Amino acid sequence: MDRGLHVFLLSAAALGGALMTPAAAAQDPTGAASGTPQVVEPQVERRDVKPPRIDAENFEVGGFIGTIGIEDFGSSTVYGGRGAYHFTEDLFAEATIGTAKAGRTSYEDLSGSVELLTDSQRQFTYYDLSIGWNALPGEVFLGGRRAMPSAVYLTLGGGSTRFGGDDNFSLVVGAGLRLLVTDSFAAHLGVRDQMFESDLLGEKKLTQNLQFSFGLTAFF
């Protein structure tokens, strides 16, 4: 037992010595270098570099209310939401959702009791994605002392309109005026035409649905 421990300790020491030799040899040159006395002790404090953060406000989110003329179904109040991301001072992408309740066709009004669509089919809802261009940037002057940056913009996009129980691919062309009331809030006046093919009244045709709206958005 005792002899076994002795052999073990001896071999451990031999192994340790074998391992130490190259390590010590490797340390040798550094040891020689650190032997020379250092004249100047650098006292550099590590500084926390914090790049200044600036509040980037390229997103614009808000709502709108207006009136929409749904072809053959009269005009109705429309409301919805609008989001935009400004890529550059000229270009932005815009997403819009909206809903309106369509009225009755003149045929339904004249005949009295005929109903072409059920109540839920009369719900006119849409979404679309557009690319916008700030075509006419400028300023709007209120009185003699106040000027607000503004832009007349054009949009072109596509989306889907749900009406009469079906989804329809729609092409959207729009124009608007954006007025920066403060740096973070904007007022919009917009007009747009939403075009889609519909066969609700028998024959298939391209319907034009014009919308005028007023909206408020916030930048963040």
Partner 1 sequence: MTRCLLTALIMVGALAPSVAPAAAAAAQVVVQDPYLEFRSGPGRGYPIFHVVDRGEEVALVRRRTDWIKVRSDRGREGWVHRSQLERTLTPQGEQVRLAGPTPESRMEHRWEVGLVTGDFGGANLVSATTSYALTQSLHVRLDVSHLLGSYSNGWLGTAGLLHAFMPQWRVSPFVSLGGGVVHISPKATIVQAEDRTDPTAYAGLGLRGFLTNRFLLQAEYRKFVVLTSRDDNQEIDEWTVGFTYFF
Where along the sequence are the contacts to partner 1 (CB under 8 A)? 47, 49, 51-58, 86-89, 93, 128-129, 131, 134, 137-139, 147, 149, 157-160, 164-169, 180, 183, 197, 199, 219
Between CA 137 and CA 90 the distance in angstroms is 9
Residue number, 134 or 213, with CB nearest to partner 1: 134
Residue 121: DSSP 8-state: T
- Residue nearer to partner 1 on the CB measure, 71 or 94: 94
CA distance 145 to 220: 27
Smallest gap, in angstroms, from Cβ of residue 80 to partner 1?
Answer: 17
Distance in angstroms (rounded) separating the CA atoms of residues 109 and 65: 26
Distance CA 196, CA 207 (A): 5
Min dist. Cβ of residue 124 to partner 1 (A): 15
Closest CB to partner 1 among residues 16, 137: 137
Quote the least distance from Cβ 63 to partner 1, whole Å.
Answer: 21
User: Given the complex with partner 1, which of 1 and 54 has the nearer CB atom?
Assistant: 54
> Distance between CA atoms of 120 and 117, rounded to whole angstroms?
8
CA-only gyration radius of the chain, Å: 37
Closest separation in Å from C-beta 49 to partner 1: 6
CA dist., res. 64 & res. 74, Å (int): 20
Least distance in Å: CB of 9 to partner 1? Answer: 55
Contact predicate 56/86, CB 8 Å: no
Half-sphere exposure of 214 (CA within 13 A, CB side): 1
Q: Which two tokens stand for residue 202?
A: 């028998």
Q: How far is the CB of 202 from partner 1 (least distance, A)?
A: 11
